């Protein structure tokens, strides 16, 4: 799982100063509800007293910025109709929305799906990777009910205030929360496969890589050098061709020097 995460903890936010902790039971996905793609804008606005909200991370297009320790209790969900709050159970992150739209009530106005598709793809990728990382770290199963939910689902389940994120946005790009949960599970499986890399499998991949390189054509710029080396008998190949774009072993290197010394 490649994910670029940096930390900018909101130490001036009252939520951080109070410093209550949770045992994470899930991850709640939010979006900011403002056309502002730059996470730093929110971070500088929220890193002060009297803000009355705080999340664990902001997901931007370029990277994820962690803003609270994962096990600190955040202020992101409010209280649901059950009287319970996902603040006590869920790690939270805000996805930054692209520039260019406005809101009327909970509805996006002037949002251009096609123009914003590449932006959305990057945000979505980072959100999947972050959630997969958190689920792995805290032993959470994204397929279990109530574990990976968005704010709007939290409202439906009685554990969050009445907000529509991220269902006011993601479905415009054809993404449901069920799809998100499947993609998170898939990312966790992919991560496990990376962790299960064996020497044998690595050697196999390396052989394939070297074979692929050996089949590449050399560039025009090296033509005079190649012609010279072949005329002089310094390179002669090994039945697999001259493999100009592959690597030379130390054995092959001394062999080439040896041939040269005998001219």
Q: Which residues bind Zn ion (CB under 5 A)?
A: 30, 151, 163, 165
| Separation CA 185–CA 218 (nearest Å) | 42
What is the C-alpha separation between 97 and 37, in angstroms, rounded?
5
Given the DSSP bridges, would you call strands 64-66 and 57-59 parallel, antiparallel or unpaired?
antiparallel
Phi and psi at 6, nearest 5°, equal: -120, 165
Q: How far is the CB of 169 from Zn ion (least distance, A)?
A: 11
Cβ proximity to Zn ion, 29 vs 235, nearer residue: 29
Q: Based on CB atoms, which residue is closest to Zn ion, 152 or 188?
A: 152
How many other CB atoms are found less than 10 A from the CB of residue 204?
11
Adjacency order of strands within the sheet including 64-66: 5-7, 64-66, 57-59, 90-95, 26-31, 148-150
Strand, coil or helix: what is 190? helix
- Greatest CA span in the chain, whole angstroms? 88
- What's the min distance (Å) between Cβ of 171 and Zn ion? 16
**Given the complex with Zn ion, which of 90 and 181 has the nearer CB atom?**
90
Comparison of 30 and 243: residue with beta carbon closer to Zn ion: 30
Tokens of 193: 């496969």
Nearest to 134 by CA among 182, 91, 166: 91
User: CB 94 → Zn ion: shortest distance, Å?
Assistant: 7
Tell me which DSSP letter residue 97 carries: P
* Nearest one of 41, 46, 38, 34 to 10, comparing CA atoms: 46
Nearer to Zn ion, 90 or 163 (CB): 163
Q: Are 56 and 66 in contact (CB under 8 A)?
A: yes
Output 43 or 242, the one with its CB closest to Zn ion: 43
Min dist CB 151 to Zn ion, Å, is: 3
Closer to Zn ion by CB, 53 or 226: give it.
Answer: 53
Residue 178 CB, shortest distance to Zn ion, in Å, is: 19
Least gap, CB of 103 to Zn ion (angstroms): 13
* Count of CA atoms in the C-beta half-sphere (13 A) of 81: 9
Q: Are 192 and 184 in contact (CB under 8 A)?
A: no
- Residue 213 CB, shortest distance to Zn ion, in Å, is 49
């Amino acid at each position: 799982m490649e994910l670029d995460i940096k930390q900018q903890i909101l130490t001036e936010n009252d939520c951080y100063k109070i410093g209550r902790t949770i045992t994470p039971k899930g991850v709640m996905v939010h979006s900011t509800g403002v056309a502002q793609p730059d996470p730093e804008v929110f971070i500088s606005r929220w890193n002060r007293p009297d803000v009355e909200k705080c999340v664990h991370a902001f997901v931007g297009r370029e990277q994820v910025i962690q803003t609270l320790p994962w096990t600190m209790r955040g202020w992101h969900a409010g209280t649901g109709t059950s009287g319970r709050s996902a603040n006590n159970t869920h790690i939270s992150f805000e996805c930054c929305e692209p520039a260019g739209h406005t809101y009327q009530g909970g509805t996006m106005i002037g949002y251009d799906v096609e123009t914003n598709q590449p932006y959305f793809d990057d945000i979505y990728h980072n959100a999947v990777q972050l959630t997969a990382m958190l689920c792995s770290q805290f032993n959470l199963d994204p397929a279990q009910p109530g574990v990976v939910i968005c704010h709007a689902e939290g409202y439906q389940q009685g554990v969050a205030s009445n907000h529509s994120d991220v269902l006011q946005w993601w479905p415009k790009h054809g993404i449901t929360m069920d799809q998100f949960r499947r993609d998170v599970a898939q990312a966790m499986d992919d991560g496990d496969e990376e962790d299960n890399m064996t020497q044998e499998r690595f050697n196999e991949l390396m052989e394939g890589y070297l074979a692929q390189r050996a089949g590449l054509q050399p560039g025009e710029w090296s033509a005079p050098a190649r012609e010279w080396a072949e005329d002089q008998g310094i390179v002669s190949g090994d039945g697999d061709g001259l493999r100009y774009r592959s690597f030379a072993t130390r054995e092959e290197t001394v062999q080439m020097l040896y041939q040269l010394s005998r001219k």
